[in-house]
Amino acid sequence: MSIETLQVGFVGGGSGAFFGGVHRKTTYLNREQGILPHCGVFDVDPDKSMEDAKTIGLIGYRTVEEMIAAEKNNLGFVMVATPDGTHLPIVQALLEADIPVVCEKPPEEDLPKTLAMAKVAKAMGVPLTFNWSYTGYPNMRLMAAICSAGLLGTIRRIQGTYVQDWLQLPLEKNPVGSPGQQQAVGRTDFGVSCDAADIGIIHPSSVISLCLPHVSAKRVWGRLSTMVSGRKLDDNMIVVVEIDGPGVAPGADIAFYSSQTMIGKGNHHFLSIAGEQGTVYADIENPEIVKLSLANQPDRVFQCGRGFGDDPVMRNVTDPCGDIMMSPPGHIGTFWDALTYLQRLFAKDVRDWRECGKRRIASQRSLGIREGVFGMQLLQAAVDSTQRGNVWVNCKSVDELLP
C-alpha cells in the first residue's frame, strides 16, 4: 500500500543556524516514510533565505507569508526552528492557513504567548506538536511504558537533572559569527529565562508529561540564578514543584536541577521517577538503557531493542523500542532515531487529520499544546517565584489555563 506523500516546509535553519538544519536532515532520513523536504524560509533576512535555499537545494521563499501563499496546497506540514519569542506569529499564520506545524520547544518565550498559541490551535483544529527531542528517545519511551503499566505504584518523587557547560563563559559577547555566539545570544538575551526555558524545566517536564500525563502542578518554588557576570538571564537553577493528580502521593514533588555553566558536562539529562513500589531511571548519555528498581528485588537493567526476555514483571509493558530504533541495539544513533521518530509520529497525525476531511481529531499521538502549557506554567511560576524572593507560587490546573 502506498503512503501519501507529505511535503515539508521549514522556517529557520539557514547557514549559521543550529536546529533547523537538524529538522531538515530528519526528513532526508524519513524519505521512505513519504516525508519529503520541499521548501523553506531559511533565514529572517529575505535575501539570505534565498541564497541558503540555493545551497540547500530546496525551493526558497523570502517570508513566511510568501511561502504560505505559494505552497498552501502543497505542504503536508512545516517545521519551525526560529528563536523563542518569534514562534507565535509564524505558527499562527501556518495554522490559520490549514497547515500542520512542528514547532521547536519551548512553545513561546512566556506563558501568555503560549496560551495565545493554544487559543489559535483550538480555534483551527489543525495538528500542532513541539519538538521535545528527548520524548523520542527509546529509553524515555520505555520509561513511560513502565509508568503506564503501573509498576511504580503511587508516585512520590521525580528528579529531572539537566546540566551542560557551553555557557560557562560569556559566549554571547564573542564576535558576531563566531561559533555558538548566535545561539548564546538567542538564549541569554531574550524572553523570561535562559537555562530553565532552554533545558532545565522545558525538557524534563516534557518527558514527565509523557510518563505521567495526569500529573499537575499545585505550587512552584524557584531559584533561577546567573553565574556569569553581566549575563541578563539565568544560567543555573533549582526548582521544586509540588504535584498532585491520580496516582500521586500527598506531598509528592518534582525536583528540577540544572546548570549551563557546569564545567565538564556536555549534555547530561537524567530523569528518575520514584513510587511506593519502585523507581525507574533513564539518562540521554546512555540512551538505550533503562534501570528499574523494585522493592526487595535485584535491580533490572533493560537495553532498548533487546526486549524483556521472559521477565514476568514486564508482561504488561508494551515495548515501544521497535518503532523508534532504526539500527540494532548498540549501534547508537539515538539523536537521529528520536527526531525522525517524532517526525514520523506527527506525520501519522497529519495523515489521520487529512483522511478525516481535516476535521478536528479527538487526540493526537504527538505531544501537543497541553504539554506545552504544562511546561510553560512551571517555567513562568519559577521565574515569578525567583523575582518575588523565592516564595511558593500557586498554580492553576492546565485545564483551567487552556482556552
Ligand X SMILES: NC(=O)c1ccc[n+]([C@@H]2O[C@H](COP(=O)([O-])OP(=O)(O)OC[C@H]3O[C@@H](n4cnc5c(N)ncnc54)[C@H](O)[C@@H]3O)[C@@H](O)[C@H]2O)c1
Site for ligand X in 243-272 (CB under 6 A): none
Q: How far is the CB of 113 from ligand X (least distance, A)?
A: 12
Smaller CB separation from ligand X, 339 or 347: 339
Answer for which of 9, 37, 76, 83 binds ligand X (CB under 6 A) is 83
Q: Are 349 and 129 in contact (CB under 8 A)?
A: yes
Site for ligand X in 290-309 (CB under 6 A): none
CB neighbour list of residue 335: distance below 8 Å, 6 or more residues apart: 133
Neighbours of 144 (CB within 10 A): 23
Smaller CB separation from ligand X, 162 or 353: 162
Q: How far is the CB of 138 from ligand X (least distance, A)?
A: 16
Answer for which of 9, 12, 127, 136 binds ligand X (CB under 6 A) is 12
- Between the alpha carbon of residue 336 and those of residues 136, 266, 286, 342, the distances in Å are 9, 18, 15, 10
CA distance 403 to 398: 10
CB neighbour list of residue 194: distance below 8 Å, 6 or more residues apart: 167, 187, 188, 231, 232, 233, 234, 235, 260
Stretch that binds ligand X, among 13-21, 71-79, 247-255, 287-295 (CB under 6 A): 13-21
Q: Which three cell numbers stand for residue 88?
A: 507565535
Rama region for 241: left / alpha / beta (φ>0; ψ in -120 to 50; rest): beta
Phi, psi dihedral angles at 266 (to 5 degrees): -75, -60
Stretch that binds ligand X, among 37-45, 66-74, 225-233, 279-287 (CB under 6 A): 37-45
Q: Which three cell numbers stand for residue 4?
A: 501519501
Site for ligand X in 179-238 (CB under 6 A): 182-183, 186, 198
CA distance 113 to 169: 30
Q: What does DSSP say about strands 268-275 and 289-294: parallel, antiparallel, or unpaired?
A: unpaired
Answer for which of 27, 30, 86, 386 binds ligand X (CB under 6 A) is 86
Q: How far is the CB of 21 from ligand X (least distance, A)?
A: 8
CA distance 60 to 66: 10
Smaller CB separation from ligand X, 273 or 338: 338
Smaller CB separation from ligand X, 183 or 216: 183
Site size with ligand X, rule: CB under 6 A = 25
Stretch that binds ligand X, among 79-87, 140-148, 227-235, 254-262 (CB under 6 A): 79-87
Smaller CB separation from ligand X, 64 or 350: 64
Orientation of helix 111-124 relative to helix 87-96, angle to 10°: 10
Q: Are 100 and 76 in contact (CB under 8 A)?
A: yes
Any contact of residue 77 with ligand X (CB under 6 A)?
no
Q: Which three cell numbers stand for residue 386?
A: 525567583
The 88-117 site mask, x for binding ligand X (CB under 6 A), equals ----------------xx------------
DSSP 277-301: SEEEEEETTSTTEEEEEETTS--EE
Any contact of residue 340 with ligand X (CB under 6 A)?
no
**Beta strand segments in 126-277, E:** 128-130, 155-163, 216-225, 236-244, 248-259, 268-275
Answer for which of 29, 36, 44, 361 binds ligand X (CB under 6 A) is 44
Any contact of residue 79 with ligand X (CB under 6 A)?
no
Any contact of residue 133 with ligand X (CB under 6 A)?
yes
Answer for which of 67, 78, 81, 338 binds ligand X (CB under 6 A) is 81
Q: Are 67 and 50 in contact (CB under 8 A)?
A: no
Q: Which residue is nearest to ligand X (CB)?
A: 12
Answer for which of 6, 8, 17, 39 binds ligand X (CB under 6 A) is 17
Site for ligand X in 356-385 (CB under 6 A): none
Smaller CB separation from ligand X, 1 or 176: 176
Any contact of residue 160 with ligand X (CB under 6 A)?
no
Instruction: State the residues that interact with ligand X by CB under 6 A.
Output: 11-14, 17-20, 41, 43-44, 64, 81-84, 86, 104-105, 131, 133, 182-183, 186, 198
